[in-house]
A and B are shown apart, each in its own frame.
Chain A
Amino acid sequence: MLLIDCPFCGKRPELEFRYAGEAHIARPADPSGLGDEAWGRFLYGRGNPRGMHAERWRHLNGCGRFFNALRDTTDDRFAATYKIGEERPMVAEPQGARKA
């Protein structure tokens, strides 16, 4: 069970959280102005990186807040968690050994 650092409540067990998909995919300001392909990309285009992944979590059974996290998908280590609206922090990419 992961230990996730909620930006409001601190480190809490994964049980209290719900995963909420990839982060930093903003809803287009004017969807009607988008072509079908661009809209399709917004709806369905998601990264699936091996390594650092920016993703959303919600501290559902806690403060209820959605927030963003950087998690290394190869070993589940969180490099950072940060509030909605904050810039994606710069963190060291996982070392080569873990990418192998």
Chain B
Amino acid sequence: MPDLSQARRSVLEGLGSSDGAHGALSLLPPISRLIFRGRISTIGRVAAAFGVEPAMEPCRAAVSGERAALWLGPDEWLLLAREGEAPAIIGRLADALAPLSYSLVDVSHRQVGLKVTGEDAQAILNAGCPLDLDRHAFPIGMCTRTLLQKTEIVLWRVAEAAFQLEVARSFAPYALRFLQQAERDL
């Protein structure tokens, strides 16, 4: 029996990160992703076990080291961590949260990470994202589900001129091609 535990293939393999027009696009390596859903009363224990205190304020991300918790809804957070850490995190949270009710689901492969950087990042994203990305309207640390043309994304401003995108796996090739086109059309 072959051991395929390391045999991964990204849906974007072979599509390239950018055709180099401005070099604003890059693909992010695999990471662990978990969807935590539960009542707000559980968040304190999540913070202790996960090491990041999930934001209660809507559309805000909390970061600590290589871990992050992104507010997606009033009972929903996307937890990000290094690749391979998901099983340990699930175990840690189970210990910390018992006997409270919550839901924690590994979605590491459900979506793909992309990054748009540079002074044109806003313009590239606004080719398909209808939100106001001005730094006053969409400050560093803001995150939200929204749309990129015909696909849903999670958009997260990680720096003044850097946005991280999470795209559902089967929509990622579309999202990447769309962004590449937007970069060419600046």
Interface of A with B (CB < 8 Å)? 1, 8-10, 12-13, 15-16, 61-65
Further 13 A-B residue pairs, CB within 8 A, beyond A16-B145, A16-B147, A63-B74: A8-B58, A8-B73, A9-B58, A9-B144, A15-B130, A61-B145, A61-B146, A61-B147, A63-B59, A63-B72, A63-B73, A63-B144, A65-B74
Task: Collect the chain A residues with CB atoms within 8 Å of residue B130's CB.
Answer: 1, 13, 15-16
Task: Collect the chain B residues with CB atoms within 8 Å of residue A64's CB.
Answer: 72-73, 76, 145
Given contacts A9-B58, A9-B59, A13-B131, is CB(A62)–CB(B76) below 8 Å? no
Task: Collect the chain A residues with CB atoms within 8 Å of residue B58's CB.
Answer: 8-10, 63
Contact A61 B73 (CB under 8 A): no
Task: Collect the chain B residues with CB atoms within 8 Å of residue A12's CB.
Answer: 131, 146
B152 near A: Cβ within 8 Å? yes
Interface size class of B (residues with CB under 8 A): 10 to 19
| Contacting residue for B73 out of A13, A16, A65, CB 8 A | A65
Task: Collect the chain B residues with CB atoms within 8 Å of residue A1's CB.
Answer: 130
Contact A62 B74 (CB under 8 A): no
In the bound assembly, the distance between CA atoms of A86 and B58 in angstroms comes to 19
10 A-B pairs in the complex with CB atoms less than 8 angstroms apart: A8-B58, A10-B58, A13-B131, A15-B130, A61-B146, A63-B72, A63-B73, A63-B74, A63-B144, A64-B76
Contact A15 B147 (CB under 8 A): yes
In the bound assembly, the distance between CA atoms of A22 and B58 in angstroms comes to 26
List the A residue with the shortest CB-CB distance to B73.
A63
Contact B146 A16 (CB under 8 A): yes
| Contacting residue for A61 out of B59, B74, B76, B152, CB 8 A | B152
Interface residues of B in 132-153 (CB under 8 A from A): 144-147, 152
List the B residue with the shortest CB-CB distance to A64.
B73
A63 smallest CB distance to B (angstroms): 4
A20 smallest CB distance to B (angstroms): 16
In the bound assembly, the distance between CA atoms of A10 and B58 in angstroms comes to 9
B58 smallest CB distance to A (angstroms): 5
B67-89 Cβ-contact flags toward A at 8 Å (1 or 0)? 00000111010000000000000
In the bound assembly, the distance between CA atoms of A62 and B72 in angstroms comes to 7
A59 smallest CB distance to B (angstroms): 8
B131 smallest CB distance to A (angstroms): 7
A18 smallest CB distance to B (angstroms): 12
